[in-house]
Amino acid sequence: MASISKARPLTRDSVLQAHELVKPHIHHTPVQTNTTLSTLASTPQSPDALKGTQWEGQLPAKPKIKLFFKCENFQRIGAFKVRGAFHAVKRLIEEQGIEEVRRRGVVTHSSGNHAQALALAAKTFSIPAHIVMPKISTPSKIAGTAAQGAQIHFSGSTSQEREAVVNEVIQETGATLVPPYDHPDIILGQGTMAIELERQVKELIRGDGILGVHSNDKGLDAVIAPCGGGGMLSGNAIALHGTGVRVFGAEPSFQGADDARRGVEAGKRIDTVKTLTIADGLRTPLGDYTWKIISDTRYVAGLYAVTEDQIRAAMRLVLERMKCFVEPSSVVGLATILYNEDFRSMVEKEAGDEGWNIGVVFSGGNTTIEAIMKIFASVPENQAERQEGTISKDGSRVAENVAG
């Protein structure tokens, strides 16, 4: 990477500069709305849906919410990671010169999305790329990385196992490490999506005031994003710091994948995570830089976790109601809004009768039909309907066939 001493400060202004740097190489992804999902988010969960949870017996929350989806699943290589990868590579070229970067090459470790992103950025500038991927990575992500011409090296699934192989590659080739999330250049690049999202939502509401909860064109009240290594969540938090837009993180709870939430709660970063959550892009722990931002409530207002069943239910809704192709990691934010009563109660309390416009980051769409079939194969239809929980005339959640 470009040296830390020359990295730009982690500020909104630096994110704006990063956006100018990467704009020629990324898609300006759309923001979509969906009436059915906003209605669902604003409707209390049924008592049955809360049975067996920590909220059983509580009065279900009644927040007022309008949703705005930043569709990074339509980004190049199918995920937001190209933002950080292109920014990091261009900053490296600025510091070392293109010939030196080409001579040494670049290396990273990733389960798939950053792997494909760095491979694409390196290919764009004719730079050799070495990508360390866990053996259990999604086959489509491995194929996508290889298609960009990168040399793939396989490793175990933990961050320590990945990093050990990276170090071997560096010793053998002299390649420069471009980490997947824990570096200022990566964080600032990922934050560029929040700059776009903020502007796009304001434009949408100015064009049609019914899309928002407010009577004016105030725009976003909050953004919720998936959290794995935390680069994107950190970048969004920095980009929106001082704007009045609150930023929240969402994680899977399966096998301790909610390391950021648990670490913040305990006051200490958790540096090892070993989980097989279906949200495979979120299987990594926070790094030193991302921890400092995410554990600071001035930047990230809260962290929430959801179950595998809730992730499946949210993914089903997006596929069937929005007709939008996403991977499981993408929908943990939506699952939090729909099913996590702590989050829903917080919105009800903080937003009051006015409600909130919430930006939801769809981080990527790199999965396959076969993988989706496997995810849903063991879920009984009645359970899926119970989790999906759409709206009936009396305000309870039951299945219906509406897309909007």
> Closest Cα partner for 67 from 30, 44, 31, 33?
33
Two structure tokens written together for 135: 């053996």
**Secondary-structure percent of the chain, ordered helix, strand, coil, rounded to 5:** 50, 15, 35
pTM of the model: 0.92
Two structure tokens written together for 342: 């702590």
Give every CB contact of residue 188 below 8 A, 6+ residues apart in sequence.
Answer: 8, 10, 14, 15, 17, 18, 84, 87, 235, 238
156 CB neighbour count, 10 Å cutoff: 14
Query: Which positions are annotated as active-site residues?
Result: 81, 111
Q: Which domains does the chain have, with CATH numbers?
A: 12-78+186-388 (3.40.50.1100), 80-181 (3.40.50.1100)
Please give the DSSP secondary-structure letter assigned to residue 10.
S
pLDDT digits (tens, 9 = 90+) for 166-201: 999 999 999 999 999 999 999 999 999 999 999 999
Give every CB contact of residue 349 below 8 A, 6+ residues apart in sequence.
Answer: none
**Residue 224 · residue 358 · CB < 8 Å:** yes
Among the ranges given (20-34, 203-217, 250-264, 279-293), the one the predictor scored with the smallest mean pLDDT: 203-217
Residues in the chain: 404
pLDDT digits (tens, 9 = 90+) for 26-38: 999 999 999 999 9
CA angle 316, 320, 324 (to 5 degrees): 95
The share of the chain scoring above pLDDT 70, in percent, equals 93
How many alpha carbons fall within 13 Å on the CB side of residue 381?
Answer: 1
pLDDT digits (tens, 9 = 90+) for 131-177: 999 888 878 888 889 999 999 999 997 778 888 999 999 999 999 99
- What does each C-alpha distance from 272 to 258, 283, 295, 305, 355 come to in angstroms? 11, 10, 17, 17, 38
- Give the three-state DSSP class for 194: helix
